[in-house]
Structure 1
Amino acid sequence: MTHEDQSGAAARLTEVTDRLAHAASLAGRDADAVTLIAVSKTQPVEAIEALIAAGVRDFGENRVQEMQAKWPDLRARHPDVRLHCIGRLQSNKAAEAVALCDAIHSVDRTSLVDALAKAMADSASPPTLYVQVDIGEEPQKGGVAIADLPALLAYAKEKGLTIAGLMAVPPLDVEPAPYFALLAKLAADHGLAGLSMGMSGDYETAAMLGATCVRVGSALFGARG
């Protein structure tokens, strides 16, 4: 890792955390109530190390295969770092995700609930779980339909799983605030405190509307060369 890599990562982190804190304060929230997750999918280990050195402790990956390639060594060197699965999770990868991750943000169907319940039964430190909601009615993104959310939450409870909150990705190129507000209402209606919402382009809006986790990639890692 070069000094340039480190200084660039630190500068980007400062900008994001300052903007996040300002947004939270506008809503009368404490910035510490919002966990900043650096989306490290497809990023090289060197770029991740630079952000760890700058102070980031939460990282998000989409694919179990990539997690397995990068994170065992990274976590051996940095045992206080937390890993979040933020991509669509195949049921046959549930056991691997449970073994690797501190949180899984993409629970969206009963078959995955079954697989996670089986894997977590033998886990000494089971991950925190979020149900992903198809907030914009875009099935290609994954997520349970809004109408089916109550049944999925009830099924997860029946299987012994504790759901910490909801996650969603609003449609591209539209104002995200109404979608964030809807997700917050759905969470409140079901007594869930966690809200995983907001990315590089809209994390400030998400923080003002109650996000407890924001998932930020390019704003932290910088544009690709």
Structure 2
Amino acid sequence: MRQNPSFALADVEEIKRLIRLNPWATIVSSIAEGLVASHYPILVDESRDELSIVTHVGRPDDLVHELGQHEILVVVQGPHGYISPGWYDANPAVPTWNFTAAHLGGVPEILSDEENFEVLGKLVDHFEDRMPEPRRMLGAPADAAYAQRISSGTVGMRLTPTKIVAKSKLSQNKPAETVDRIIGELEGDGVYASRDLAAEMRRVHDRMRAAR
């Protein structure tokens, strides 16, 4: 991902926030046969101060990726969307795409079976917490026995990245009136409306304005 100082996302807490809100990630590896990619939910490892994530892969993805033998790349993507030049005040203008994303690279640590089972439980809790009647992995004897059986088909891993490239491209280089217009369009009912992207832009620009 090409970096630009105007859009660089260097705050570790902000990257953690990005992951917490957007836990569906892409895992990419380069092996002898070429590039391979898989998609799995991830969690911030809240037990550590530094940026670290935990997840699992289903067998045989651990072998497909040759996990633990070399670097992997984990890609996290936040709200994103098309920005029409018709939303700008200036002419000429060209379209762009606003987005927030983070690339986390490093060699993953393979978790023990016990650690993997704990991570699986935390993943379930993370998503079930929003349900009116959450189903916990160990909530009922039948669920617990089933979870124990199927967990053997997964491999857990922790990645404490040694390479981080994160970017928040949300029209930070545009005048305030243009930003407000873009947010208004994203909050509307047009074909490219995106309330999530509008909310992220508003949050970033409110912070920028408060810091001036």
Give yes or no for TM over 0.5: no
- Higher Cα Rg, which structure: 2
Which band: TM-score by shorter chain? Answer: under 0.3
More helix by share: 1
Report the TM-score when normalising by structure 2: 0.26
More strand by share: 2
Report the TM-score when normalising by structure 1: 0.25
